[in-house]
Structure 1
Amino acid sequence: MAPHYLLLGFLVATCSVALASDPSSLQDFCVADPKSLVLVNGRACKDPKLAQANDFFFSGLHLAGNTSNPVGSQVTPVNVVQIPGLNTLGISLVRIDYAPLGINPPHTHPRATEILTVIEGTLEVGFVTSNPENRLITKKIQKGDVFVFPIGLIHFQRNVGNGNVVAIAALSSQNPGVITIANTVFGSNPAIPSDILAKSFQVDTKTVKMIQSKF
């Protein structure tokens, strides 16, 4: 009987990995209670009898983000922080504004796949596959086009037009998280030792310290 138990264990583990995502909701909704001191994987629910329309509402995606920053882009999030009613529903949204030549720098979402559509303008988008191939998959997309960034993979967008660009992206988590690679590597607190970064990037420590000073 042992082989049968091993097979069953393998199937359970495989299915668990294949279905990995935000936990499924066990009720109609679970509006996040910002006042709760209970620590759970997500947010504690408030009494559903106290739920109101505003718990499921956000206004503001019609407003352009301020792109006057070093990278020339601005992300306006709509996740469980902005809409408490998203709690346990496994989805969120962002608006991204790009100035001419603006970029959304290489980053990753540890808890979500992203699907992005261009509302106005033209973007160059891409992601890099995992080790050892590290293959860059990239494409130029325009108004009405859609592109997917798989969960956990480093990806980016760049405005390659002469005007502003607006994009909307949905993410498969109420709280997808974001790890901007440059900020994380060179702007950690406390800083990663410069000799480690120098060896990792095959540059001298002076160059590393110069980059770290930017963050």
Structure 2
Amino acid sequence: MTLLNVLATLSTGLGAGLALIIAIGAQNAFVLRQGIRGEHVLLVVLVCMFSDVVLIVAGIFGIGVLVQAVPAVVVVIRLAGAAFLLAYGALAAKRALRPGTLNAGVQQGSLSRKAVLVTVLTLTWLNPHVYLDTVLLLGSLANQHGELRWWFGTGAVIGSVLWFGALGFGARALRPVFAKPGAWRVLDAIIAVVMVFLGLKMAWSA
């Protein structure tokens, strides 16, 4: 095991991790919204990071084999996740269509710390793609590197930390744009479309 091999494997894991988590999804949309609002951002970012660490480690340990062996579990997760996404999408659509329910500025539609925690945990752990991509795919890719598999996993974890940190805390740069309630209506409309689309897609493939 040479330093060059370690760095190469670390970089490969970093790239693979970023490729899987950067895609627009329910979790990223929620992190972005909380970041713009400046509401419980650290909590949301830490939950996302910690969840990814647990899932990546599980994949490297071979838990992905169990996911393949018991497909019924993935089906149940998919149906529960689809129901939650559709409900969340409906709420976002309601906020977008009823501007009278909105308050000006980043505090509109505020959620309690408990509500934020439940939402981010649900969006993370009831997403079947988390198990198929992060656990199964990343786990399989990591184990192809033999004794360097943990360096691959470390790279993937670094990618997760960089992405969620940048998304959550970098979103504050957009706050001037969202000083007007109209901008929030647009964002909620986009979130509603994303959530409903993903929910329907998830339910259809169950």
On whether the aligned pair clears a TM of 0.5, the verdict is: no
Q: State the TM-score, normalized to the length of structure 1.
A: 0.29
Identify which of structures 1 and 2 has the higher relative contact order when contacts are C-alpha pairs closer than 8 Å and 6+ apart. 2
More strand by share: 1
More helix by share: 2
Q: State the TM-score, normalized to the length of structure 2.
A: 0.30
Q: Whose radius of gyration is greater, 1 or 2?
A: 1
